[in-house]
Amino acid sequence: MSVTASTRAAPGKPRGQRTLAALAAARAWIFLILLVVVFEIWSQIAYGTTFIFSSFNIRSIAVFAVAPVLLGLGQTLVIISGGIDLSVGFTMGFAAVIAAHVANGVGAAAGPGIGLLTAIVVALGATMVPGWINGVLVARLRVPPFIGTLGMYGVARGAAYLFAGGTTVPVQNNWLTWLGNGRILGIPALVIIAVIVVGIFHYLLSETLFGQYTYAIGGNRQATLRAGVNVRRVTIILYVLSALTAGIDGILYTGRFAAGAPQAGEPLLLDSIAAVVIGGASLFGGSGTIIGTIIGALIIAVIQYGLVFLNVEPFWQFIAVGLVIIVSVLVDQSQRRFSGGRQDE
Protein backbone atom coordinates (compact mmCIF):
# COMPACT_ATOMS: atom_id res chain seq x y z
CA MET A 1 0.00 0.00 0.00
CA SER A 2 1.42 3.38 -0.94
CA VAL A 3 0.74 6.29 1.36
CA THR A 4 1.40 8.74 -1.45
CA ALA A 5 -1.31 7.17 -3.52
CA SER A 6 -3.89 8.00 -0.89
CA THR A 7 -2.95 11.68 -0.93
CA ARG A 8 -2.93 12.10 -4.71
CA ALA A 9 -6.04 13.59 -6.24
CA ALA A 10 -7.96 11.41 -8.65
CA PRO A 11 -6.90 11.75 -12.32
CA GLY A 12 -10.37 12.97 -13.27
CA LYS A 13 -10.23 15.96 -10.94
CA PRO A 14 -9.76 19.46 -12.40
CA ARG A 15 -6.18 20.70 -12.61
CA GLY A 16 -6.82 23.34 -9.92
CA GLN A 17 -7.92 20.71 -7.43
CA ARG A 18 -4.95 18.50 -8.29
CA THR A 19 -2.64 21.48 -7.65
CA LEU A 20 -4.30 22.22 -4.30
CA ALA A 21 -4.04 18.56 -3.32
CA ALA A 22 -0.33 18.54 -4.18
CA LEU A 23 0.24 21.69 -2.12
CA ALA A 24 -1.68 20.15 0.78
CA ALA A 25 0.49 17.04 0.63
CA ALA A 26 3.62 19.24 0.76
CA ARG A 27 2.31 21.49 3.54
CA ALA A 28 4.97 20.45 6.06
CA TRP A 29 7.79 21.47 3.72
CA ILE A 30 6.01 24.73 2.92
CA PHE A 31 5.56 25.54 6.63
CA LEU A 32 9.23 24.79 7.32
CA ILE A 33 10.54 26.92 4.44
CA LEU A 34 8.27 29.85 5.36
CA LEU A 35 9.37 29.68 9.00
CA VAL A 36 13.06 29.66 8.10
CA VAL A 37 12.60 32.61 5.75
CA VAL A 38 10.64 34.60 8.35
CA PHE A 39 13.21 33.98 11.11
CA GLU A 40 16.11 34.75 8.76
CA ILE A 41 14.58 38.10 7.73
CA TRP A 42 13.64 38.88 11.34
CA SER A 43 17.18 38.11 12.54
CA GLN A 44 18.78 40.21 9.82
CA ILE A 45 16.53 43.18 10.63
CA ALA A 46 16.77 42.91 14.44
CA TYR A 47 20.41 41.93 14.89
CA GLY A 48 22.06 42.13 11.49
CA THR A 49 23.08 38.48 11.76
CA THR A 50 22.04 35.24 10.09
CA PHE A 51 19.66 32.75 11.65
CA ILE A 52 19.85 29.62 9.53
CA PHE A 53 23.33 29.98 8.02
CA SER A 54 25.00 29.48 11.40
CA SER A 55 26.44 26.07 12.31
CA PHE A 56 25.72 26.75 15.98
CA ASN A 57 22.05 27.49 15.27
CA ILE A 58 21.70 24.43 13.06
CA ARG A 59 23.17 22.18 15.78
CA SER A 60 20.90 23.78 18.37
CA ILE A 61 17.79 23.28 16.22
CA ALA A 62 18.79 19.64 15.63
CA VAL A 63 19.17 19.09 19.39
CA PHE A 64 15.81 20.79 20.04
CA ALA A 65 14.21 18.46 17.47
CA VAL A 66 15.52 15.18 18.93
CA ALA A 67 12.91 14.83 21.68
CA PRO A 68 9.79 15.45 19.52
CA VAL A 69 11.28 13.34 16.71
CA LEU A 70 11.82 10.29 18.91
CA LEU A 71 8.44 10.54 20.61
CA GLY A 72 6.87 11.23 17.23
CA LEU A 73 8.29 8.08 15.61
CA GLY A 74 6.21 5.70 17.71
CA GLN A 75 3.29 8.12 17.70
CA THR A 76 3.39 8.12 13.89
CA LEU A 77 2.90 4.37 13.71
CA VAL A 78 0.06 4.45 16.22
CA ILE A 79 -1.73 7.37 14.52
CA ILE A 80 -1.38 5.80 11.07
CA SER A 81 -3.10 2.70 12.49
CA GLY A 82 -6.00 4.88 13.64
CA GLY A 83 -5.01 5.14 17.32
CA ILE A 84 -3.22 7.58 19.60
CA ASP A 85 -0.82 7.22 22.52
CA LEU A 86 -1.26 9.77 25.31
CA SER A 87 1.08 7.93 27.70
CA VAL A 88 4.38 8.60 25.91
CA GLY A 89 5.26 11.69 27.97
CA PHE A 90 5.34 9.96 31.32
CA THR A 91 6.62 6.72 29.83
CA MET A 92 9.60 8.85 28.84
CA GLY A 93 9.88 10.19 32.40
CA PHE A 94 9.58 6.65 33.79
CA ALA A 95 12.49 5.54 31.59
CA ALA A 96 14.54 8.61 32.57
CA VAL A 97 14.23 7.86 36.28
CA ILE A 98 15.02 4.15 35.89
CA ALA A 99 18.03 4.91 33.67
CA ALA A 100 19.42 7.34 36.26
CA HIS A 101 19.01 4.89 39.16
CA VAL A 102 20.51 1.91 37.30
CA ALA A 103 23.39 3.90 35.80
CA ASN A 104 24.30 5.18 39.26
CA GLY A 105 23.97 1.87 41.08
CA VAL A 106 25.54 -0.49 38.57
CA GLY A 107 28.07 2.12 37.48
CA ALA A 108 29.37 2.51 41.03
CA ALA A 109 29.79 -1.26 41.39
CA ALA A 110 30.95 -2.34 37.93
CA GLY A 111 32.13 0.81 36.16
CA PRO A 112 30.38 3.52 34.12
CA GLY A 113 30.40 1.55 30.84
CA ILE A 114 28.60 -1.46 32.32
CA GLY A 115 26.34 0.94 34.19
CA LEU A 116 25.34 2.66 30.94
CA LEU A 117 24.65 -0.60 29.08
CA THR A 118 22.64 -1.98 31.99
CA ALA A 119 20.69 1.26 32.30
CA ILE A 120 19.76 1.15 28.62
CA VAL A 121 18.62 -2.49 28.74
CA VAL A 122 16.65 -2.13 31.99
CA ALA A 123 15.03 1.21 31.04
CA LEU A 124 13.94 -0.01 27.61
CA GLY A 125 12.71 -3.30 29.07
CA ALA A 126 10.69 -1.42 31.67
CA THR A 127 9.05 0.83 29.07
CA MET A 128 7.85 -2.20 27.14
CA VAL A 129 5.47 -2.99 30.01
CA PRO A 130 3.22 0.10 29.67
CA GLY A 131 3.45 -0.23 25.89
CA TRP A 132 2.31 -3.85 26.01
CA ILE A 133 -0.52 -2.99 28.41
CA ASN A 134 -1.66 -0.19 26.09
CA GLY A 135 -1.68 -2.62 23.18
CA VAL A 136 -3.67 -5.24 25.08
CA LEU A 137 -6.20 -2.66 26.25
CA VAL A 138 -6.75 -1.37 22.72
CA ALA A 139 -6.39 -4.57 20.68
CA ARG A 140 -7.84 -7.27 22.92
CA LEU A 141 -10.11 -5.49 25.39
CA ARG A 142 -11.29 -2.96 22.76
CA VAL A 143 -10.78 0.03 25.02
CA PRO A 144 -10.74 3.25 22.95
CA PRO A 145 -7.09 4.32 22.46
CA PHE A 146 -7.74 7.76 23.93
CA ILE A 147 -9.13 6.29 27.17
CA GLY A 148 -6.72 3.37 27.49
CA THR A 149 -3.56 5.40 26.97
CA LEU A 150 -4.91 8.23 29.13
CA GLY A 151 -5.22 5.73 31.95
CA MET A 152 -1.65 4.56 31.35
CA TYR A 153 -0.61 8.23 31.36
CA GLY A 154 -1.68 8.34 35.01
CA VAL A 155 -0.14 4.99 35.91
CA ALA A 156 3.23 5.83 34.30
CA ARG A 157 3.16 9.26 35.92
CA GLY A 158 2.63 7.80 39.38
CA ALA A 159 5.24 5.08 38.87
CA ALA A 160 7.82 7.62 37.65
CA TYR A 161 7.32 9.84 40.70
CA LEU A 162 7.40 6.85 43.07
CA PHE A 163 10.69 5.57 41.63
CA ALA A 164 12.12 9.10 41.79
CA GLY A 165 10.94 9.70 45.34
CA GLY A 166 9.04 12.76 44.16
CA THR A 167 12.13 14.55 42.89
CA THR A 168 14.78 14.35 40.18
CA VAL A 169 17.55 11.73 40.32
CA PRO A 170 21.04 13.18 39.75
CA VAL A 171 23.33 11.12 37.49
CA GLN A 172 26.85 10.17 38.56
CA ASN A 173 27.80 8.30 35.40
CA ASN A 174 29.99 10.21 32.96
CA TRP A 175 29.30 7.75 30.13
CA LEU A 176 25.59 8.49 30.32
CA THR A 177 26.15 12.26 30.46
CA TRP A 178 28.46 11.98 27.45
CA LEU A 179 25.64 10.24 25.58
CA GLY A 180 23.52 13.35 26.01
CA ASN A 181 26.21 15.98 25.59
CA GLY A 182 29.14 14.46 23.70
CA ARG A 183 29.96 14.94 20.02
CA ILE A 184 31.24 12.72 17.25
CA LEU A 185 33.02 14.65 14.48
CA GLY A 186 31.34 17.80 15.76
CA ILE A 187 27.84 16.30 15.61
CA PRO A 188 25.97 15.85 18.93
CA ALA A 189 25.84 12.16 19.87
CA LEU A 190 22.13 12.26 20.65
CA VAL A 191 21.44 13.60 17.12
CA ILE A 192 23.39 10.68 15.61
CA ILE A 193 21.41 8.22 17.76
CA ALA A 194 18.15 9.87 16.68
CA VAL A 195 19.15 9.60 13.00
CA ILE A 196 19.86 5.87 13.42
CA VAL A 197 16.49 5.26 15.09
CA VAL A 198 14.75 7.33 12.38
CA GLY A 199 16.38 5.19 9.68
CA ILE A 200 15.17 1.99 11.35
CA PHE A 201 11.59 3.24 11.68
CA HIS A 202 11.54 4.64 8.15
CA TYR A 203 12.59 1.25 6.80
CA LEU A 204 10.08 -0.55 9.03
CA LEU A 205 7.18 1.61 7.86
CA SER A 206 8.02 1.97 4.16
CA GLU A 207 9.77 -1.26 3.23
CA THR A 208 8.19 -4.08 5.26
CA LEU A 209 4.92 -5.98 5.44
CA PHE A 210 4.53 -4.71 8.99
CA GLY A 211 4.44 -1.16 7.62
CA GLN A 212 1.85 -2.13 5.01
CA TYR A 213 -0.28 -3.75 7.71
CA THR A 214 -0.04 -0.55 9.77
CA TYR A 215 -1.43 1.53 6.89
CA ALA A 216 -4.06 -1.09 6.15
CA ILE A 217 -5.34 -1.17 9.74
CA GLY A 218 -5.74 2.59 9.75
CA GLY A 219 -7.33 2.64 6.31
CA ASN A 220 -9.87 -0.14 6.84
CA ARG A 221 -9.61 -2.35 9.90
CA GLN A 222 -12.38 -4.75 8.89
CA ALA A 223 -10.96 -5.31 5.41
CA THR A 224 -7.55 -5.94 6.95
CA LEU A 225 -9.05 -8.55 9.27
CA ARG A 226 -10.78 -10.25 6.33
CA ALA A 227 -7.44 -10.30 4.49
CA GLY A 228 -6.06 -12.54 7.24
CA VAL A 229 -3.83 -10.01 9.02
CA ASN A 230 -3.43 -10.54 12.77
CA VAL A 231 -4.61 -7.04 13.63
CA ARG A 232 -4.42 -7.60 17.38
CA ARG A 233 -0.77 -8.65 17.29
CA VAL A 234 0.23 -5.79 14.99
CA THR A 235 -1.58 -3.27 17.19
CA ILE A 236 0.15 -4.52 20.35
CA ILE A 237 3.54 -4.27 18.62
CA LEU A 238 2.73 -0.70 17.53
CA TYR A 239 2.11 0.42 21.10
CA VAL A 240 5.23 -1.38 22.33
CA LEU A 241 7.29 0.43 19.68
CA SER A 242 5.73 3.73 20.75
CA ALA A 243 6.78 3.05 24.34
CA LEU A 244 10.30 2.05 23.24
CA THR A 245 10.86 5.34 21.41
CA ALA A 246 9.70 7.13 24.56
CA GLY A 247 12.21 5.04 26.51
CA ILE A 248 15.07 6.01 24.18
CA ASP A 249 14.03 9.64 24.55
CA GLY A 250 14.04 9.30 28.34
CA ILE A 251 17.55 7.84 28.38
CA LEU A 252 18.91 10.63 26.18
CA TYR A 253 17.12 13.24 28.31
CA THR A 254 18.79 11.82 31.44
CA GLY A 255 22.19 12.00 29.77
CA ARG A 256 21.65 15.50 28.43
CA PHE A 257 20.56 17.05 31.72
CA ALA A 258 22.53 14.71 34.04
CA ALA A 259 19.33 13.89 35.93
CA GLY A 260 16.34 11.60 35.60
CA ALA A 261 13.13 13.62 35.93
CA PRO A 262 9.70 11.96 36.16
CA GLN A 263 8.13 14.94 34.38
CA ALA A 264 10.74 14.86 31.58
CA GLY A 265 8.26 14.16 28.79
CA GLU A 266 5.16 15.90 30.14
CA PRO A 267 5.47 19.02 27.93
CA LEU A 268 6.46 16.86 24.94
CA LEU A 269 3.18 14.94 24.55
CA LEU A 270 1.62 17.78 22.56
CA ASP A 271 4.81 18.14 20.53
CA SER A 272 4.83 14.45 19.60
CA ILE A 273 1.27 14.58 18.30
CA ALA A 274 1.84 17.98 16.69
CA ALA A 275 4.91 16.73 14.80
CA VAL A 276 2.91 13.84 13.34
CA VAL A 277 -0.10 15.98 12.38
CA ILE A 278 1.97 18.87 11.01
CA GLY A 279 4.01 16.31 9.08
CA GLY A 280 0.95 15.26 7.09
CA ALA A 281 -0.50 12.29 8.95
CA SER A 282 -4.25 12.12 9.29
CA LEU A 283 -5.84 11.67 12.71
CA PHE A 284 -8.40 9.47 10.93
CA GLY A 285 -5.60 6.96 10.26
CA GLY A 286 -4.29 5.39 7.08
CA SER A 287 -1.78 8.06 6.06
CA GLY A 288 1.47 9.57 7.26
CA THR A 289 5.23 9.13 6.88
CA ILE A 290 8.33 9.16 9.07
CA ILE A 291 9.87 11.88 6.89
CA GLY A 292 6.77 14.01 7.43
CA THR A 293 7.08 13.60 11.19
CA ILE A 294 10.73 14.68 11.05
CA ILE A 295 9.73 17.83 9.15
CA GLY A 296 6.96 18.44 11.69
CA ALA A 297 9.44 18.12 14.56
CA LEU A 298 11.85 20.47 12.79
CA ILE A 299 9.05 23.03 12.44
CA ILE A 300 8.44 22.85 16.19
CA ALA A 301 12.18 23.08 16.91
CA VAL A 302 12.61 26.08 14.60
CA ILE A 303 9.72 27.87 16.33
CA GLN A 304 11.05 27.09 19.81
CA TYR A 305 14.68 27.94 19.14
CA GLY A 306 13.89 30.84 16.82
CA LEU A 307 11.81 32.64 19.43
CA VAL A 308 14.52 32.11 22.05
CA PHE A 309 17.18 33.30 19.59
CA LEU A 310 15.21 36.48 18.88
CA ASN A 311 14.53 37.07 22.59
CA VAL A 312 10.77 36.66 22.30
CA GLU A 313 8.78 35.47 25.34
CA PRO A 314 8.72 31.65 25.14
CA PHE A 315 4.96 31.52 25.74
CA TRP A 316 4.46 32.61 22.13
CA GLN A 317 5.79 29.22 21.00
CA PHE A 318 2.65 27.51 22.33
CA ILE A 319 0.47 29.89 20.32
CA ALA A 320 2.59 29.41 17.19
CA VAL A 321 2.62 25.61 17.40
CA GLY A 322 -1.11 25.57 18.15
CA LEU A 323 -1.87 27.70 15.10
CA VAL A 324 0.23 25.45 12.88
CA ILE A 325 -1.66 22.40 14.20
CA ILE A 326 -5.02 24.02 13.46
CA VAL A 327 -3.95 24.98 9.94
CA SER A 328 -2.59 21.46 9.34
CA VAL A 329 -5.85 19.81 10.41
CA LEU A 330 -7.89 22.20 8.23
CA VAL A 331 -5.62 21.45 5.27
CA ASP A 332 -5.95 17.72 5.95
CA GLN A 333 -9.74 17.95 5.92
CA SER A 334 -9.68 19.91 2.65
CA GLN A 335 -7.27 17.37 1.18
CA ARG A 336 -9.59 14.53 2.15
CA ARG A 337 -12.51 16.25 0.40
CA PHE A 338 -10.48 16.67 -2.77
CA SER A 339 -9.33 13.03 -2.75
CA GLY A 340 -12.74 11.65 -1.86
CA GLY A 341 -11.70 10.37 1.58
CA ARG A 342 -14.15 9.89 4.42
CA GLN A 343 -14.75 12.68 6.89
CA ASP A 344 -16.89 13.08 9.96
CA GLU A 345 -19.81 15.43 9.66
* Residue 344 confidence (pLDDT) above 50: no
pTM greater than 0.85: yes
Nearest CA to 208 among 296, 290, 130? 290
* Residue 296 confidence (pLDDT) above 60: yes
For range 272-295, the mean pLDDT: 90
* pLDDT tens-digit map of 177-230: 999 999 999 999 999 999 999 999 999 999 999 999 999 999 999 999 999 999
Concatenating the DSSP letter of every residue in 107-165 gives: HHHH-HHHHHHHHHHHHHHHHHHHHHHHHHHHHTS---HHHHHHHHHHHHHHHHHHHHT
Question: What's residue 178's pLDDT?
Answer: 95
* Residue 136 confidence (pLDDT) above 50: yes
* pLDDT tens-digit map of 33-43: 999 999 999 99
* Residue 338 confidence (pLDDT) above 70: no
Using 50, 70 and 90 to split pLDDT, how confident is the model at 329? confident
Using 50, 70 and 90 to split pLDDT, how confident is the model at 310? confident
- In 159-265, DSSP assigns E strands to 169-170, 183-184, 187-188, 259-260
